[in-house]
Chain A
Amino acid sequence: NAGVTQTPKFRVLKTGQSMTLLCAQDMNHEYMYWYRQDPGMGLRLIHYSVGEGTTAKGEVPDGYNVSRLKKQNFLLGLESAAPSQTSVYFCASIQTPGAPDQPQHFGDGTRLSIL
Chain B
Amino acid sequence: AQTVTQSQPEMSVQEAETVTLSCTYDTSESDYYLFWYKQPPSRQMILVIRQEAYKQQNATENRFSVNFQKAAKSFSLKISDSQLGDAAMYFCAYRNQAGAGSYQLTFGKGTKLSVIP
Contact = CB atoms under 8 A, between A and B. Distances in A.
Interface of A: 31, 33, 35, 40-45, 48, 50, 56, 58, 88, 90, 92, 94, 97, 100-101, 103-104, 106, 108-109, 111
B43 A42 contact: no
A114 to B, nearest CB: 19
Nearest to A4: B45
Given A42-B108, A88-B43, A94 B103 contact: yes
B25 interface: no
A101 B52 contact: yes
Which of A50, A94, A104 counts the most chain B CB atoms within 10 A?
A: A104
Interface string B77-99: 00000000000000101000111
Nearest to B4: A42
Interface residues of B, number: 25
A52 B105 CA distance: 20
A92 B37 CA distance: 13
Which of B9, B42, B105, B108 counts the most chain A CB atoms within 10 A?
A: B105
Contact of A48 (B44, B99, B104): B104
B68 interface: no
Nearest to B52: A101
Contact of A40 (B91, B107, B109): B109
Given A41-B109, A42-B108, A42-B109, A103 B47 contact: yes
